[in-house]
């Protein structure tokens, strides 16, 4: 399994497929690259070289627990990983926190970006109450561990129907959250709380952009994503029916088809 020393930490990533068409996938919080396994299998079969890192502290990647995981730093890791792998340009796809990192990636390394896929994410910063809640959660995670983050996050990750019926998707996501190190969560919460407002950046994004969003997202309303797409003439919006926040998991067939169509337009 590949791992390399990147920006002072051991970064782990998984790869599938080969060639010059590269799709970089950035996971959400508090998750790891395994949330993308279905997409890795799908897009590598379609001729894409798919690269899915565990961002610092998550999954099998290490981190420095005294350092905050800012969105800029996570983006710098992803860019350095592409350099390490000899990749000059990639389509960058991020879901939720992965989307915040995608914005930070584009702002710092526009020359490395072929196109953007913004899945279930938003451009606005945290409102004051949300910011305060992040710091409160950080204290609870310090005392109780990762299950405290699971208790707050998990109930909002899928559609209400899926939460009611339960099942493998819910169990698998819970397993990722629970195995995530508390120190990664503790380092990332300030990075999430203090992330910048990228709404003013939206009109200036100069690459093809797909905004894709579960129509039943309970964390980030779909109307918000629609507005985000409207802010840029190069952006296209697709709503994923029957899916909540983790739209790539809850309706993977629809999600994959929409991303596939978008990617086909780039070749």
Question: Rule CB under 6 A: which residues touch ligand MLT?
Answer: 28-29, 96-97, 192, 219
Which of residues 6 and 249 has its CB atom nearest to ligand MLT in the complex?
Answer: 249
Structure tokens at 126: 């945290």
Which of residues 28 and 239 has its CB atom nearest to ligand MLT in the complex?
Answer: 28
Which of residues 33 and 49 has its CB atom nearest to ligand MLT in the complex?
Answer: 33
* Residue 77 near residue 6, CB atoms below 8 Å: yes
Which single residue is written with the structure tokens 């798919």? 50
Which of residues 21 and 186 has its CB atom nearest to ligand MLT in the complex?
Answer: 186
Which of residues 14 and 32 has its CB atom nearest to ligand MLT in the complex?
Answer: 32
Which of residues 49 and 195 has its CB atom nearest to ligand MLT in the complex?
Answer: 195
End-to-end CA distance of the chain: 29
Query: Least CB distance from residue 179 to ligand MLT, whole Å?
Result: 16
Which of residues 115 and 185 has its CB atom nearest to ligand MLT in the complex?
Answer: 185
Query: Least CB distance from residue 31 to ligand MLT, whole Å?
Result: 7
Taking the CB of residue 135, how many other CB atoms lie within 10 A of it?
11
Nearest CA to 180 out of 12, 76, 29 is that of 29
- For the four alpha carbons of 11, 16, 18 and 19, in that order, the dihedral sign comes to negative
Query: Least CB distance from residue 192 to ligand MLT, whole Å?
Result: 5
> Measured between alpha carbons, how far is residue 195 from residues 187, 227, 233 in Å?
13, 20, 25
Query: Least CB distance from residue 223 to ligand MLT, whole Å?
Result: 17
Beta-bridged to residue 50, according to DSSP, are 16, 23
Helices (H), the chain: 37-45, 71-84, 97-108, 128-144, 146-153, 160-165, 168-179, 182-193, 222-230, 247-250, 252-264
* Residue 263 near residue 114, CB atoms below 8 Å: no
Query: Least CB distance from residue 11 to ligand MLT, whole Å?
Result: 19
Question: How far is it, in rounded angstroms, from Cα 201 to Cα 231?
Answer: 9
Nearest CA to 91 out of 152, 33, 48 is that of 48
* Residue 242 near residue 159, CB atoms below 8 Å: yes
Query: Least CB distance from residue 97 to ligand MLT, whole Å?
Result: 3
Which of residues 11 and 177 has its CB atom nearest to ligand MLT in the complex?
Answer: 177
Query: Least CB distance from residue 166 to ligand MLT, whole Å?
Result: 20
């Amino acid at each position: 399994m590949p791992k390399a020393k990147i920006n002072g930490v051991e970064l782990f990533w998984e790869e599938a497929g080969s060639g010059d068409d590269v799709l970089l996938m950035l996971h959400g919080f508090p998750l790891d690259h395994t949330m993308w396994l279905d997409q890795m299998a799908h897009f590598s079969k379609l001729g894409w070289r798919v690269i899915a890192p565990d961002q610092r502290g998550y999954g099998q990647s290490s981190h420095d627990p005294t350092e905050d995981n800012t969105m800029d730093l996570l983006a710098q890791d992803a860019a350095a990983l592409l350099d390490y792998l000899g990749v000059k340009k990639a389509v960058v796809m991020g879901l939720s926190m992965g989307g915040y990192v995608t914005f930070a990636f584009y702002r710092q390394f526009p020359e490395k970006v072929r196109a953007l896929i913004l899945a279930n994410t938003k451009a606005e910063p945290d409102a004051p109450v949300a910011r305060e809640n992040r710091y409160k959660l950080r204290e609870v995670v310090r005392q109780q561990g990762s299950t405290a983050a699971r208790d707050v996050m998990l109930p909002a990750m899928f559609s209400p129907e899926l939460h009611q019926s339960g099942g493998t998707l819910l169990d698998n996501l819970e397993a990722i959250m629970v195995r995530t190190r508390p120190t990664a969560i503790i380092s990332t919460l300030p990075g999430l709380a203090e992330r910048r407002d990228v709404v003013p950046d939206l009109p200036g994004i100069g690459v093809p952009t797909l905004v894709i969003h579960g129509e039943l997202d309970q964390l980030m309303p779909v109307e918000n994503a629609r507005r985000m797409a409207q802010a840029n003439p190069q952006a296209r919006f697709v709503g994923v029916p029957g899916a909540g926040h983790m739209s790539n998991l809850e309706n993977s067939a629809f999600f994959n088809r929409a991303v596939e169509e978008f990617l086909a337009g780039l070749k």
